Amino acid sequence: MRIPFVAGNWKMNTTVTEAERLVIEMLEKLDRVEGVEKVLCPPFVSLVAINMMLHGSSVKLGAQNMYFETKGAYTGEISPLMLRELCEFVILGHSERRWYFGDIDEIVNKKVKAALANKLNPILCVGERLEENEAGKTEEVINRQVTAALNGIEPAALSRSSDEVAKDLIIAYEPVWAIGTGKAASGEQAAATIQFIRDVVAKIWNETIAQDLRILYGGSVTSANIAEFISHPEIDGALVGGASLKAEEFVGIVEQTAEIKKRIK
């Protein structure tokens, strides 16, 4: 059984003080929820402070991006070596990174390789834009993004078993047209696309990894609609944006995920 996974992506929100206050508001309740892997992804400037606050709890820490080189003359960038002392997870390939900052498929691939090589767990984001969705190109786009992101990555080359690769890598399906718009995909749409992602992974690696891999939905997820997604066995959790900035909302999403997934085991 795949362990459900819920991550909060705070994006470019919260000062260090605000981030600390938000963690204080939600940590005790999050820590009590069992059966779900819980991850907070604050801005870089808050990683040290939040790392200390989460110490000894069941809530884990992630970063929102990283560069693929470990060190060098890359002004303003953050390397995997810098992150791995602070957090376990890193979001890669988010549509905002692809769209605003030029993270093309080849760059995402380099970042995924660098994360795995440096013992960080990538949360790989894939998803189509509205015009691609309306043109019936969802599977074409998803196939290209997943295939490109995992290109050249072999479990044996990483000294990992299939189980370890499936545990270390998370994929998040985030249709671009649903991110921050309030317009979420339907549960059926999300589940069908996530099953397609599993089929793509099975072709790249094997069926075992594809079935063990955790795949999330992201895009206007709230406590009011999380049940629609989590009730589908194909969907293993959520990458939550705006709702993760509200303590009660995020706790509600995590609690419902734990309850529903326990019920449908």
180 and 102 share a domain?
yes
Establish if 208 belongs to a structural domain.
yes
Which amino acid would we find at residue 67?
Answer: Y
38 and 125 share a domain?
no
E-strand stretches of 174-234: 214-218
Confidence of residue 159 (pLDDT cuts 50, 70, 90): low
Establish if 58 belongs to a structural domain.
yes
Establish if 237 belongs to a structural domain.
no
146 and 220 share a domain?
yes
122 and 173 share a domain?
yes
pLDDT, position 180:
74
Q: What is the mean pLDDT of residues 191-205?
A: 96
43 and 118 share a domain?
no
Residues near 147 by beta carbon (within 8 Å), at least 6 away in sequence: 200, 204
198 and 100 share a domain?
yes
97 and 141 share a domain?
yes
Residue range of the domain that includes 207: 85-224
99 and 58 share a domain?
no
Establish if 156 belongs to a structural domain.
yes
Tokens 């995992």 correspond to 150
> In this predicted model, what pLDDT tens digit does every residue of 107-158 receive, in sequence order?
999 999 999 999 999 999 999 998 999 899 999 999 999 999 999 998 765 5
Q: What is the mean pLDDT of residues 162-183?
A: 81
Both tokens of 94, joined, read 């988010």
CA gap 17, 24 in Å, rounded = 11
Establish if 230 belongs to a structural domain.
no
Residues near 164 by beta carbon (within 8 Å), at least 6 away in sequence: 155
Domain of residue 134, CATH code = 3.20.20.70
Domain stops at, among 34, 64, 94: 64
For the annotated catalytic residues, the residue numbers are: 94, 174
Establish if 194 belongs to a structural domain.
yes
89 and 209 share a domain?
yes
Average pLDDT of the chain is: 94
DSSP 178: G
200 and 91 share a domain?
yes
| Cβ density class 223-238: b for 16+ within 10 Å, e for less | bebbebbbebebbbbb
Nearest Cα to Cα of residue 87 among 53, 54, 122, 51 = 51
105 burial (CB, 10 Å; 0-12 / 13-18 / 19+) is middle
Domain stops at, among 188, 209, 224: 224
Which amino acid would we find at residue 51?
Answer: N
Model's pTM, two decimal places?
A: 0.95
pLDDT, position 13:
98
Question: Within 10 Å of residue 74's Cβ, how many Cβ atoms?
Answer: 11
pLDDT tops 80 at residue 163: no
Domain count within the chain: 2
CA gap 168, 84 in Å, rounded = 14
43 and 135 share a domain?
no
Establish if 143 belongs to a structural domain.
yes
Establish if 199 belongs to a structural domain.
yes
133 and 197 share a domain?
yes
Phi and psi for 166 in degrees, rounded to 5? -65, -30
| Cβ density class 34-72: b for 16+ within 10 Å, e for less | eebbbbbbbbeebbeebeebbeeeebbbbbbbbbbeeee
pLDDT, position 207:
92
